[in-house]
Structure 1
Amino acid sequence: MSGLYDWPEKYGDPTWFLHNRFGMFIHWGLYSLKAKDEWIMTQDKISKTEYDMYLQQFNPDLVKPEKWVKQAKKSGMKYIVFTTKHHEGFALWDSEYTDCKITNTAYGKDLLREFVEACRQEGMKIGFYHSVIDWSHEHFTIDGLHPQREDENARNEQRDMSIYQQYLFDQVEELVTRYGKIDYFWFDFSYGDRDWGWSKGKGPDDWKSEDLEQLILTHQPHILLNNRLGLDRGVYTPEQYQPAEPLYTPEGAKRIWEACQTLNGTWCYNPNNLHWKSSEMLIKLLIDTVSNDGNLLLNCGPTARGNFDTRTLEVLEEIEGWINFHSEAIYGAGSSSFECPQDCRLTQKGEKVFIHIFSWPFRTIHLKNFSQKVKYARFLHDYSEIPVKTFEESDVFHHDIPVIGNNETVLELPVIKPDHVVPVIELSLE
């Protein structure tokens, strides 16, 4: 891996991550029964006793992890980050340390093992999402995010955070020792900056983050970690917004980052959240992310029965239609130092520069300040050649193509836009 990146030496090699660029996030748990929000337990202030009802109701009769994985692969995703346990405390594996787990539901099987096996069958990189928060655990101390924050009978005097810490470590150790090689461990999340007056948020001291990292790396030294243990290192994971440029440390090193986006406005399945991003918007988010040296982790929330709903499948199919023709401009690509033409984005891989055309221009694209000569240009979707004209200082006007600056390169386009959401031109440089 290039030394240009700010990356802890003790973490694994992120080369595969920087190459793959596109992953699927899957949020799934008891909250899928409520079909509103994965934070519903605290939003509605539901106690553990009340919430246990959903453990009895959980029966995903349509769940087939191999279908999730095959769909992700078809849509161009190269890795999947799957929720092992969200803030609600429901474990999607057969944990020895809790009764709040999928093997105690009507499903009765270790879904995480099935998911891991499906990923390996399809050559998919494996990521585990794991929340350091657990609102169902009797020793997780009550703070301003806790569902029982207004319950006068729930007291922290009866809770011992050190017991919860051991529980956290025990479950993480299960995850990194039972399922073979895991490529990416995605923690969620530290909130030590929160202060409600009567309580404060939790951060790395509460999770014993340094020791937790060491536990994981002892068993899986190759693994990648994200930045949400509060230690300010690992993959930076902004969610629901896009950095507008490559990210750097104050010392000038590049940061490895991953934009986390939903299909609509919620992370879990919610049929009433109609804030759907169009496939065009999502394709452009992927392009925009890669053009700024980032990865896109796109979330899909299965229903409580375990299947992807029709709208999700439609969007994924439309993304598949684009990436099947344009993957060369995404995998292994990153930002370009060349000046980007109007209404376009640039990605680059070695001596190949890719122009992603967000708004179709009339007849020409002007390349300014290109320090290397364009040897050949073609569309990616059909490999049809694009004429390239280079104008020297003596050329002020050439036929009917206006030349704005000296040593300008002009690509001559058809008037009619190709039938692709974002057409891509590949430039081979000399």
Structure 2
Amino acid sequence: MTDQEIRWERTAWMREARFGMFIHWGLYAIPARGEWVRSTEKITVEEYQKYFDEFDPVYYDPKKWAKLAKQAGMKYAVLTTKHHDGFCLFDSAYTDYKATNTKAGRDLVKEYVEAFRAEGIKIGFYYSLLDWHHPDYPHYGDRQHPMRDNPEYGNENRNFDNYVTYLHNQVRELLTHYGKIDILWFDFSYNALYGEAWRGTELVEMIRSLQPDIILNDRLSGDAAINDALQEDILPMYAGDFQSPEQIVPPAGVTNGKGDPVTWEACMTLNDHWGYAVFDHNYKSAKTVIRMLVDCVSKGGNLLLNVGPNAKGEIPPASKKILEEIGVWMHENGESIYGCGNAGLPKPAWGYYTRKDDVLYAHVYDIFTSSLVVEGMANAVEYARMQADGAELSMSRPWNSAKYPNELFIDLHDVQLPDPIDTVIRLKLK
């Protein structure tokens, strides 16, 4: 098999799952101005230390997180074990900058793994390639670092190779202390920091030796490198198993240079920040998220939807409410999402299609008459049913449809759709 075929086979479970929970959580939940607060406000390590000293998530209960994810219909989760600020939620032997040395006093990643695994949800670890706390990570002049413009924080005597060794050591810890891990989600490469700058081949060889079945995203590679790699059958080891477009659904999905589909996942925020931001109330509605999920699946992709717990360890009530509403829809219509993908048909005017094997799912957003017209499918469908309740739908042709012999007409009885978010019709193909 080619490298791309191996990656396609390795990610089969991900294309079945389709919907996951992203969790951004760390010290930045205390200032509550988003996960990039150290960089955007150019906060020094010394000034940021107060958040480490205060960190005490007294209501942290990942069992509640896991139950909410399951209720929402999510099949996997990805937690920020270490974000760009360098703070580790796990008990690393290579740093004192970790949750076990805060008032929390325990390994928070361990509790996450146990809770989500108990709910049958696959386990993912996010790990930032950046580290604004480590003394050997570039400071002055680096376009991301909080001290990028401060000449007092020069790069003299900083040994980047020491940092890369630290990165490798921590990844080894994450993949040896918590049992089987399903996803390793790196973030992110930029400028000259990509691929072998991270000793990428060595890193992935180590990862594969520890967790042969784990799947990796594409962010060990820079954008240009991965786009070039997609054109080839032989990819660098660090190219990853799936693409991870951020805050965008690719208009036509993602394909390689030959036009073949590749596994991909759009990661999206629920509001406008990844980490908790107390002022950010610009939440997407359940309707918006559901339609975004359908958009992704119809193009052969997944949706990884983020929540940002607060400083006390709770998922905000607004986020919780949205996920619960999504869960109601997924309970009735999840069959049109899980394991489904591109239907190979033009997008209809009234909504979207998803498909799995010999079942076509019509996701109907708007109709203007009581008949749903399915173009080109007049003789292709055995029967039609409402996905939510299994009710039979008539496929009888209207008296005035003789001029449209190739179209399928489904009688919905009313122009008011049963589900204003997305009425799903299950079409069994002949």
The verdict on how the C-alpha distance between 1:9 and 1:384 changes in structure 2, with shifts beyond 3 A counting, is closer
Matched, 1:253 2:260: yes
2:331 aligned residue: 324
**Equivalent of 1:363, from 339, 356, 370?**
370
Matched, 1:387 2:394: yes
Matched, 1:97 2:97: no
The verdict on how the C-alpha distance between 1:12 and 1:89 changes in structure 2, with shifts beyond 3 A counting, is farther
2:194 aligned residue: 203
CA contact (8 A) 2:379 2:406 kept: no
2:133 aligned residue: 136
- Mapping for residues 8-407 of structure 1, pairs under 5 Å: 9=6, 13-142=10-139, 143-192=142-191, 201-230=192-221, 232=226, 233=239, 234-370=241-377, 373-389=380-396, 398-399=398-399, 401-402=400-401, 405-407=404-406
CA contact (8 A) 1:11 1:222 kept: no
Structure 1 ranges of 4+ moved more than 6 A: none
- Partner Cα separation in structure 2 for residue 262 and residue 18 of structure 1: 21
- Partner Cα separation in structure 2 for residue 323 and residue 235 of structure 1: 24
- Partner Cα separation in structure 2 for residue 113 and residue 361 of structure 1: 52
The verdict on how the C-alpha distance between 1:267 and 1:146 changes in structure 2, with shifts beyond 3 A counting, is same
- Partner Cα separation in structure 2 for residue 102 and residue 403 of structure 1: 70
CA contact (8 A) 1:12 1:222 kept: no
- Partner Cα separation in structure 2 for residue 423 and residue 35 of structure 1: 38
Give the structure-2-normalised TM-score: 0.92
The verdict on how the C-alpha distance between 1:371 and 1:217 changes in structure 2, with shifts beyond 3 A counting, is farther
Q: Once the 2 structures are TM-superposed, how far is the Cα of residue 371 of structure 1 from its aligned partner?
A: 8.0
- Partner Cα separation in structure 2 for residue 127 and residue 404 of structure 1: 54
Q: Once the 2 structures are TM-superposed, how far is the Cα of residue 208 of structure 1 from its aligned partner?
A: 1.1
Residue 34 of structure 1 aligns to a residue whose secondary structure is coil
The verdict on how the C-alpha distance between 1:156 and 1:383 changes in structure 2, with shifts beyond 3 A counting, is same
Segments of 5+ residues of structure 2 without an aligned counterpart are 227-238
Give the structure-1-normalised TM-score: 0.92
2:229 aligned residue: none
Could you say what the CA RMSD is over the residues aligned between the two structures, in angstroms?
A: 1.7
Q: What number of residue pairs does the alignment pair up?
A: 411
Residue 10 of structure 2 aligns to a residue whose secondary structure is coil
CA contact (8 A) 1:83 1:130 kept: yes
The share of aligned pairs that are identical, in percent, is 40
Deviations 1:19-66, CA, capped at 9 Å, x for gaps? 000000000000111111111111111111221111101000000011
Residue 389 of structure 2 aligns to a residue whose secondary structure is coil
CA contact (8 A) 2:379 2:408 kept: no
Which range moves more in the overlay, 282-291 or 352-361? Answer: 352-361
- Partner Cα separation in structure 1 for residue 428 and residue 126 of structure 2: 40
- Partner Cα separation in structure 2 for residue 349 and residue 266 of structure 1: 34
Give 2:15's aligned amino acid: L
Give 1:366's aligned amino acid: V
1:197 aligned residue: none
Give 1:74's aligned amino acid: Q
Q: Once the 2 structures are TM-superposed, how far is the Cα of residue 76 of structure 1 from its aligned partner?
A: 0.2
Q: Once the 2 structures are TM-superposed, how far is the Cα of residue 382 of structure 1 from its aligned partner?
A: 1.3
